[in-house]
């Protein structure tokens, strides 16, 4: 957690910034629902034109040398009636999710469902690691070839890997940082995405607060340099990110595993909220970036509406 210009207010203020529960094992971690669920039309917080204009403004900032890369995120919400539990379960069980789960307030005022494929930070067996994801194509044979061959996607990815290496290197109590895996292709629903693994040995005592200060907010959802990217985000995005682009996971007595809360939806009793975006570089095409964000949001919206098999 670093000092930077704050973004817009959360569209889901009922959800607290920090929330912890004692994990209780159940036979089914995603309880079902027999109640009805009706989802209304989605309302975007900005139009495709406004989104494309924001992408161009980032490109202009890159041209001036203000930043190298900025992750631009859009938000949308839809009214609903009924019990959202089954819909949230469909989101949490989307294929390709490394962190699939539901977190809900005991009083039912809010709930979060995530299908995140990305590790923000993991500590296990004496090492700390992160798995940044950057680079997206449709999950087809041609899409895989395009992703592997794209100089733009690889350059964007490597910038974030370097940022994550720096984040871990600043963490007190760690040894030499290394890249264990670079630009590996994984599938999330109907998309290929490029993932790397960056890690370092723990050579001393590392507290939870120090760890979170070093890695939050995640480099793949901010940009480089991180503080300058956050200033751009605060100026461009009309709605705050809320629970999206944060962290959700587990803290145990001998390990920690937090997923970056991308591919996440939230409900607040009357509306369901979702976020999606992508990293912008000098070579980004504004219309293509708008389309990429829509492709990432598509499986979430389909799962909420009841359609899952098309993305399996």
pLDDT tens sequence across 214-234 = 999 999 999 999 999 999 999
The 3-class SS string of the chain reads CCCCCCCCCCCCCCCCCCCCCCCCCCCCCCCCCCCCEEECCCEECCCHHHHHHHHHHHHHHHHHCCCCEEEEEEEEEEEEEECCHHHHHHHHCCCCCCEEEEEECCCCCCEEEEEECCEEEEEECCEEEEECEEEEEECCHHHHHHHHHCHHHHHHHHHHHHHHHHHHHCCCCECCCEEEEEEEEEEECCEEEEEEEEEEEECCCCCHHHHHHHHCCCHHHCEECHHHHHHHHHHHCCCCCCCCCCEEEEECCCCEEEEECCCEEEECCCEEEEEEEEEECCCCCHHHHHHHHHHHHHHHHHHHHCCCHHHC
- The pLDDT assigned to 33 comes to 58
- The pLDDT assigned to 25 comes to 56
Please report whether residue 28 resides in a domain: no
Q: Are strands 264-267 and 247-251 parallel, antiparallel or unpaired?
A: unpaired
In angstroms, the CA 138 to CA 145 distance is: 10
Q: Is the dihedral of CA 295, 70, 42, 106 positive or negative?
A: positive
Which residues of the chain register pLDDT less than 50? 1, 29-30, 308-312
In angstroms, the CA 97 to CA 263 distance is: 9
304: containing domain: 40-311
In angstroms, the CA 216 to CA 220 distance is: 10
CB 292 within 8 A of CB 278: yes
Helices 48-64 and 286-305, axial angle in degrees (round to 10)? 140
Please report whether residue 18 resides in a domain: no
In angstroms, the CA 44 to CA 265 distance is: 14
Please report whether residue 232 resides in a domain: yes
pTM of the model: 0.91
Give the CATH number for residue 280.
Answer: 3.60.120.10
Please report whether residue 1 resides in a domain: no
In angstroms, the CA 121 to CA 168 distance is: 10
Please report whether residue 29 resides in a domain: no
Please report whether residue 21 resides in a domain: no
Please report whether residue 17 resides in a domain: no
Number of domains in the chain: 1
Q: What is the pLDDT of residues 5-42, one digit of tens each?
A: 677 899 999 999 888 887 655 555 445 555 789 999 99
Please report whether residue 265 resides in a domain: yes
Residues with catalytic roles: 118, 134
């Amino acid at each position: 957690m670093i000092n930077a210009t704050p973004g817009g207010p959360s569209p889901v203020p009922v959800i607290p910034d920090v929330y912890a529960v004692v994990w209780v094992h159940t036979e089914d971690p995603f309880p079902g629902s027999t109640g009805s669920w009706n989802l209304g039309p989605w309302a975007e917080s900005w139009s495709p034109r406004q989104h494309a204009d924001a992408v161009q403004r980032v490109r202009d900032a890159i041209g001036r040398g203000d930043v190298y890369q900025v992750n631009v995120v859009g938000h949308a919400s839809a009214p609903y009636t009924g019990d959202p539990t089954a819909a949230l379960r469909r989101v949490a069980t989307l294929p390709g999710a490394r962190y699939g789960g539901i977190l809900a307030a005991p009083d039912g005022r809010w709930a979060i469902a995530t299908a995140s494929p990305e590790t923000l930070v993991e500590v296990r067996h004496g090492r700390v690691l992160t798995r940044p994801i950057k680079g997206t194509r449709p999950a087809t044979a041609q899409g895989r070839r395009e992703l592997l061959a794209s100089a733009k996607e690889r350059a964007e990815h490597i910038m974030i890997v370097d940022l994550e290496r720096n984040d871990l290197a600043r963490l007190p109590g760690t040894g030499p940082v290394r890249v264990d895996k670079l630009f590996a292709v994984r599938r999330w629903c109907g998309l290929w995405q490029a993932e790397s693994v960056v890690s370092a040995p723990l050579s001393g005592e590392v507290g939870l607060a120090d760890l979170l200060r070093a890695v939050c907010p995640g480099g793949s959802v901010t940009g480089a340099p991180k503080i300058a990217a956050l200033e751009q985000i605060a100026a461009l995005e009309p709605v705050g990110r809320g629970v999206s682009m944060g962290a959700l996971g587990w803290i145990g007595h001998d390990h920690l595993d937090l997923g970056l809360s991308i591919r996440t939806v939230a409900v607040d009793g009357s509306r369901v909220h979702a976020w999606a975006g992508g990293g912008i570089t000098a070579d980004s095409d504004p219309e293509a970036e708008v389309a990429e964000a829509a492709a990432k949001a598509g499986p979430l919206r389909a799962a909420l509406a009841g359609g899952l098999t098309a993305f399996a």
